[in-house]
Amino acid sequence: MTARLRSFAMLSAAAVSALTIGAAAHPASADADVNGQGVLAGSTTASYFWDDSSGRAGDTGLPAAGKPMQKGLAASPSWPLMTEGYVVYQGKKLPFFVGDRGPGDPSSRGVMLDLDAKTFAELTGGRFNPDTLGVDGVKGEGHIKIQYVVTKWGDGVGRKAAPVAFDTGAWRQQDTGTAPLSVKK
């Protein structure tokens, strides 16, 4: 292959990669590495929560994975617990791992990721309020449009594909069609 043809092939692959990662609807197959960036990429609306087991602000106790509430912990209505990845909002990129289930009802309206309040605050330029467990300084905004990239599927129950609403029950079903994959970040 000539140097010119190799350059064209590399340029074509880069263009396809940029289009795939920027895709908003249903991205590439969940069991395929998305051009070295992750195993699944897409976009959704995200909300925020903070469960500190205090009973304040409607929290329900420790997150489902048994890990304490912390920055980077997210809730998914369908992905396996301990799935890892990152979210991007207005050029800011932060890591997450699925440590809880949710959001519940909002997922039926397209809110498919519940970020911890500290990550939400950092993404939006707000600040986490430990007294209310909310995010101040974002003009009441509780939902943002984000891009997500899953870099590693968790081993537990859940659906290894584009997120689906909580009421589908995908969070309690073992996805046997896709082996857990991990890629370098």
Max distance between CA atoms of the chain, in angstroms, equals: 66
Q: How many Cβ atoms are within 10 Å of 82's Cβ, its own excluded?
A: 17
> Which of 26-35, 148-157, 175-184 is predicted most confidently?
148-157
Contacts from 2-5 at CB under 8 Å and sequence distance 24+? none
Mean pLDDT of 110-138: 94
Amino acid 98: pLDDT: 97
* Mean local confidence (pLDDT), 140-158: 93
Is the pLDDT at 171 greater than 80? The verdict is yes
Residues ≥6 apart with Cβ < 8 Å to 10 = none
Query: Mean pLDDT of all residues in the chain?
Result: 78
Do 64 and 101 form a contact (C-beta atoms < 8 A)?
yes
pLDDT tens, 15-61?
333 333 333 333 334 444 444 568 999 999 999 998 777 766 666 67
pLDDT at 18: 35
Q: What are residue 103's phi and psi, to 5 degrees? A: -70, 150
The pTM for the full model equals 0.74
Residue 148 has pLDDT above 90, yes or no: yes
pLDDT tier at 141, thresholds 50, 70, 90:
confident
In this prediction, residue 113 carries a pLDDT of 97
- Asked if 147 and 42 touch (Cβ cutoff 8 Å), the reply is yes
HSE (side-chain half, CA atoms, 13 Å) at 137: 12
What pLDDT score was predicted for residue 178?
Answer: 53
What residues contact residue 183 under an 8 Å CB cut-off, 6+ apart?
Answer: 33, 36, 37, 38, 39, 151, 152
Cβ atoms of 49 and 128 within 8 Å: the answer is no
In the prediction, which pLDDT does 78 show?
Answer: 96
Of residues 68, 139, 162, 79, the one with CA closest to residue 114: 79
Q: Is the pLDDT of residue 86 over 90?
A: yes
Backbone angles phi, psi at 70, to 5 degrees: -160, 165
